[in-house]
Amino acid sequence: QKEVEQDPGPLSVPEGAIVSLNCTYSNSAFQYFMWYRQYSRKGPELLMYTYSSGNKEDGRFTAQVDKSSKYISLFIRDSHPSDSATYLCAMSSLTGNQFYFGTGTSLTVIP
């Protein structure tokens, strides 16, 4: 079983829609949870970072962590065509020496 599971999509939504992206994980030691955005032929860039459970909001982006279900989500409100990218979840334990990534979800926002 992989440490982190993520639906690869692809996901296609109209402009202005709310997007929901999800990951599940198996290691209960994970405490740091991250979402990265990766544009085509570029390196990943950090979008959101949360520690332990709860919600975190930053502009149009909201990250949720449910440790009891081992499930994390990223919501994008009022989606724009510029949000079209691959979104990767990542997580690590308290020691943080190894980071585990999901396979990424490809998102297209149609104007």
Binding to other proteins, residues 21-40 (CB under 8 A):
32, 34, 36
Between 65 and 90, name the residue whose CB sits nearer to other proteins. Answer: 90
Q: Which long-range contacts (CB under 8 A, 24 or more apart) does 82-85 make?
A: 82/109, 83/19, 83/107, 83/109, 84/108, 84/109, 85/37, 85/38, 85/39, 85/40
Provide the minimum distance between the beta carbon of 90 and other proteins in the complex, in angstroms, as a whole number: 8
Provide the minimum distance between the beta carbon of 103 and other proteins in the complex, in angstroms, as a whole number: 4
Between 14 and 95, name the residue whose CB sits nearer to other proteins. Answer: 95
